[in-house]
Amino acid sequence: MQKINILQTLIQEQNTEKNIFDLESKNYDTLNASPEIKQILNMQAHIILEQKKYIKSLLDKPFDFGNMLLLPTENSYKSRKEVDLHVSFSFPHSEKKASFIPVMASNMDTIGTISMATALRKEEMFTCIHKFYEHSQLNNYFSSLKKEDPDAFNYFAISTGISDQDYQKTTALIDKNPQIQYLCIDVANGYMQALNDFVQKIRKKYPEITIFVGNIVDKDRAKTLVELGADAVKVGIGSGSVCTTRQEAGVGALQASAVIDCAFGLHELGYGYVISDGGCTNAGNISHAFACGADMVMLGGMLAGHKECFDDTPQIKQDNNGNHYLSFYGMSSEQAMKNHYQDWENRMEYRASEGRVLYVPYKGDIAKTVNAILGGMRSAMTYTGKKSLHDLRNASYQIGMNNNGLNYSLLMKNLSDNNQRQI
Ligand code: 5GP
């Protein structure tokens, strides 16, 4: 009991120079405890101290998923099959309890489709359905679920922007379908005050809905949005595979560091969850995001190029060698503007197109890709010996720096010049 209390106190201490000093000067020899307990406490204090120093140094030198590798540890796993990837959540505002595999499809119009939601639900994974569906399409889908699979409402969010029109559409949808459990409030720049007002308005109107809000990249903003009513914040600016914000606006943050920062912020606050959004280009990166403290991981590019990216027959393009491709584009790209806004030309005038259009190899059914992703995550758990995805945040990792991640952006830029990307 004594051991647990002292460890809790240690863990609760803040990550500052002063506290690191305090930790160093703690002397457990004065405690009324057995030598074994004292030895364990000293060892644990040392480990915590090292972790704090380590994390502090990481925050001083930002890095990306591509810069990190998880380190294996001796463990009792016998097979990857033993790994359970489900995570239990207890959302602070909605007070909803949930359990799912916290890897989610992005609310992009070629990713967060109804077909994708149907496919991922089978795997108990999550989808943020995009906001460009007609009311009638969504209502039909929800009606069918109510009859056939009411539990499916626990595996998707509907999405919204923050305009008055978005508000009207979203509230109408929720009022007509009170089974909707999750709402994803998504703007490219999650630092606008208008977002605060929108979050508060929705939270007040729907106390029981679970709200995801983004996108942001720092702990202060994470805390503010959670305090205002978000159950989880979506973290990531400039890291997406079809995002050009780093190049066009010079804005963004390296994804791994952004996730660490926000996770720390919410740890300090004591509630709220982190969704890492963008920057995963392989299954290993998903595990990296969890190791950085993410509670859920959102994917765009890794799920692109599949049959489920379109609700009707996908428009497959073929090159001269007989290879097949599907289009995948950023939600701020000219392509997305043309698809969804009649006044797209006006929009392009005042808004830089911070998104690109790619053709990605056609991969057919999503099930195979999902299997590969979940297999990779299970491997990460067995190598690191962690019992849950949540526990993966305690995994050790190495960092290899390469110009603070600038190489990554350049790589993406070059690939986009060829207008193709192998994901
Ligand atoms: P990915 O998994 O492809 O690396 O990243 C997906 C994320 O990129 C999305 O969930 C969204 O946050 C972000 N994103 C999607 N389209 C655009 C865009 O046009 N511009 C920017 N800046 N980000 C985008």
Per residue in 160-191, pLDDT tens? Answer: 999 999 999 999 999 999 999 999 999 999 99
- C-alpha distance from residue 303 to each of 3, 80, 278, 299 (Å): 45, 23, 12, 7
Write the residue with the smallest CA distance to atom 15 of ligand 1: 330
More confident residue, 40 or 181: 181
pLDDT at 24 over 80: no
Cα-to-centroid distance, 243 and ligand 1 (Å): 5
The reply to whether ligand 1 has any atom less than 6 angstroms from the CB of 92 is no
Percent of the chain with pLDDT over 90: 64
The reply to whether ligand 1 has any atom less than 6 angstroms from the CB of 127 is no
Instruction: Specify the amino acid at residue 197.
Output: D
pLDDT at 406 over 80: no
Q: What pLDDT shows up at residue 22? A: 39
Write the residue with the smallest CA distance to atom 10 of ligand 1: 106
Mean pLDDT of the chain: 85
Just list the catalytic residues.
243, 245
pLDDT at 258 over 60: yes
pLDDT at 61 over 90: no
Q: What pLDDT shows up at residue 51? A: 65
Which residues, at least 6 apart from 418, have a Cβ–Cβ distance to it below 8 Å? none
Mutate which of 103, 108, 354 for ligand 1 pocket (most atoms within 8 A of beta carbon):
108
DSSP 191-241: T-HHHHHHHHHHHHH-TTSEEEEEEE-SHHHHHHHHHHT-SEEEE-SS-ST
More confident residue, 49 or 230: 230
pTM (whole model) above 0.75: yes
Mean pLDDT computed over 148-171: 97
- Rounded Cα distance between 147 and 156, Å, is 17
The reply to whether ligand 1 has any atom less than 6 angstroms from the CB of 279 is yes
pLDDT digits (tens, 9 = 90+) for 308-327: 999 998 889 998 999 999 98
pLDDT at 380 over 90: yes
- Rounded Cα distance between 356 and 168, Å, is 30
pLDDT at 15 over 60: no
Q: What pLDDT shows up at residue 352? A: 57
